[in-house]
Amino acid sequence: MTIIRLSLIVMCSFLTSCVSASRSAPLPYSALNTTHIAEFGLIRFWGDETSPEISSYVDTQFEQVRASGCRRCTKEANFLALSGGGADGAFAAGMLNGWSQHGNRPVFEVVTGVSTGSLAAPFAFLGQRYDTALQEVYTQISDKDIYINKGAFALAGPSLYDNAPLRDLITKLVTENLLDEISREHLRGRRLLVQTTNIDAQRPVIWDMGAIAASRSKERRTLFVNILLASAAIPVIFPPVSIKVRSGDRVYDELHVDGGVTSQITFGPPGLDLNRAERTAFGAHRIKNLYVIRNGKIEPEYMAVDQSAPDLAKRAVGTMVKYQTLSNIRNLYTRARPPISICRSSPFPKHFPKSRKANSIRPIW
């Protein structure tokens, strides 16, 4: 079942039900910028604005790169951004595997993921050794491994489907050993970033998954899983993920949903000045290459649409997401110059077949 079809169900259910679930301690607006997560340091920032805190964060990263002893890393850096796209997330898995086989896949200093891209991001971050695991995520699962149909009970809750199976799958994949590997790379100056949407604030949040992995908190695995689950939690289709935060001596909850609600692709907040930080850490600008893998087609695809509400809604939502993605790519390309030397985008091939054979990569949902 595709996101578009699910969206139609959402519209129908909205018309037939106004049941709402109360929240115990929603974060008040006055505390929006004063929160932190207990036992963790700086592990997140807004994805739509820069701040002195972010500048200091980048300075720390580049100092770690310099201290790692990687001489090439002081001259050149490669970045990878993985987009949303639902079932089409299998494209990134296939492309990364093919890239490895071609023999010229770089080590990425920064890997970012949104929605289904966030599920692939940890494997892409850790490199070619995890290509097989990445491929299996998109080839060895079925719908029952992702969600449970709640049926009529859906109208009494926050979502139409229960994604507990997806949580179990992510928990199985995110082992302590995997977190330790991500932690080691983080301390060498590499960054694994995942975007969610704070649905209360209507703003993107970028999470430093490496910082979470590198923390000494016993809750690091739980939080890591929660962020990945939230980044792929399509609103109303799947339940939002509640994140406990502190402000002063009070504990509140934030609701986080699919990162694709705010943007299909992310790299960093607008106005982020990498050149300034590079001059400080390395004495000069580096060659910087940004690779973008778009999980889905961005070209218009003609189709005669029946004049029925479901068909029109399905077509409208699909068109909206497609042009949101195109706008995100154009904006990223504009922002990448001149701080980024080269920006390459790899969307679906224009004539990629819609049908798939039984042994081809299966959709993640």
Tell me if 227 sits within 8 A of 192, measured CB to CB.
no
- Map residue 162 onto helix, strand or coil: strand
Task: Round to whole Å and give the CA distance between 117 and 266.
Answer: 10
Q: Are strands 148-149 and 161-162 parallel, antiparallel or unpaired?
A: antiparallel
Q: Helices 220-231 and 116-126 meet at what angle, rounded to 10?
A: 130
329 DSSP β-pair partners: none
- Per the annotation, the verdict on 142 as an active-site residue is no
- Per the annotation, the verdict on 115 as an active-site residue is yes
Dihedral pair phi/psi, residue 196, rounded to 5°: -120, 175
Tell me if 235 sits within 8 A of 176, measured CB to CB.
no
The catalytically annotated residue of 88, 131, 208, 258 is 258
The catalytically annotated residue of 7, 83, 88, 115 is 115
List strand residue ranges (DSSP E) for the chain, in order. Answer: 44-46, 76-82, 110-114, 148-149, 161-162, 191-198, 203-208, 241-247, 250-258, 287-293, 342-346
Which contacts of 220-224 are long-range, i.e. CB under 8 A and separated by 24 or more positions? 220/179, 221/171, 221/174, 221/176, 221/179, 223/37, 223/40, 224/174, 224/179
Dihedral pair phi/psi, residue 152, rounded to 5°: -65, -25
DSSP run (H or E) holding 105: none
Residue corresponding to tokens 């990263």: 61
| CA 78 to chain CA mean position, Å | 18
- Positions annotated as catalytic residues are 115, 258
